[in-house]
Amino acid sequence: MTPQQKANLQRLGPFIALVLVAVGLSVMSPDFLTVNNLLNVMRQVSINALIAFGMTLVILLGGIDLSVGSILALSSVLTATLLRAGVDPLLATLLGILAGAAMGLFNGLVISKGKVAPFIATLASMTILRGLALVFSNGSPITGFDSELFSMLGGGYVAGLVPVPVVWMLILFAGFWFLLKKTVFGRHVYATGGNEEAARLSGVKVDRVKLWVYTTSGAMAAMAGVVLTSRLNSAQPTAGTGYELDAIAAVVLGGTSLSGGRGWIFGTLIGALLIGVLNNGLNLLGVSSFYQQVIKGAVILLAVLLDRSNKK
């Protein structure tokens, strides 16, 4: 097997794993392959996938973003507050996403200009933003914004069958694929993650790349928050807790290297689907949520170990 063939096989590993898991679950549970269940899986996956798309850019840089769950919560609270105040649903949605982008920009400034390690910077902002979400909402869910248009974002269907969040997921997947595959910015992201100093010497504006990447990550977390708020018809200040771990897991399972410079957005989509299928299948089989955490952790650890082995 040539090195190129071996690399291609490694890239297809997550997809092969997804197929094997799906086949196994379909044998163990007759309810798994029903249309309603598969659409439900896709709807659940869409939230994690939206966050994971932004997280992919961050990890390609060799960074990390622990604040996405808190950005989701605060953006949701802000959007719901605007809706309850009578602001147009589309404008409230746009402002909520822009607020998330601003939070991501703050992370980027601290990391690029303040020279703070991404782990520390986003850990601090995770705590600050979660606190602001609780303060702004007084620790209570925000409801009472009846808008049919807004409810379509997370709870509607296209052609009466496909959930709208799934459509958003596929559209944004295509956008991120184009961004990373066909644009100069995408090449700069890979170059910066592969060797930051070499990229800088080659003329890449590394700090600007970091700012845009973290801004995008914040915007995607806010987008996920808007979809979740629409689906639940409620904004929870505690929403998004632990979502950063699921997003990181999806990116790593998809084959993106934690050390940066190597990965692809299709792998992230497959990783998010793999996590969603595992969660759904274990629920159908009646596996305790405690054991589900153990199984998910073991799968993530295996993916990281394989990544380390491939790098060597």
Q: How far apart are CA 210 and CA 40, in angstroms?
A: 35
pLDDT tens digits, 144-196: 777 888 888 888 898 888 999 999 999 999 999 999 999 999 999 999 999 99
Which pLDDT score is estimated for 272? 94
Q: Is the pLDDT of residue 5 over 90?
A: no
Nearest residue to 149 (alpha-carbon basis) of 164, 161, 168, 159: 164
pLDDT tens digits, 110-125: 999 999 999 999 999 9
Tokens of 232: 């639940």
Q: How far apart are CA 106 and CA 17, in angstroms?
A: 37
pLDDT tens digits, 48-84: 999 999 999 999 999 999 999 999 999 999 999 999 9
* Residues sharing a CB contact under 8 Å with residue 289, sequence separation 6 or more, in sequence order: none
DSSP 222-269: HHHHHHHHHHHTSB-TTTTTTHHHHHHHHHHHTT--TTSS---HHHHH
The amino acid that residue 5 corresponds to is Q
Which pLDDT score is estimated for 3? 62
pLDDT band of residue 8 (cuts 50, 70, 90) is low
State the first-to-last Cα distance of the chain, in angstroms, to the nearest integer. 18
Measured at the CA of 40, the angle between CA 163 and CA 302, to 5 degrees, comes to: 120
Percent of the chain residues topping a pLDDT of 90: 61
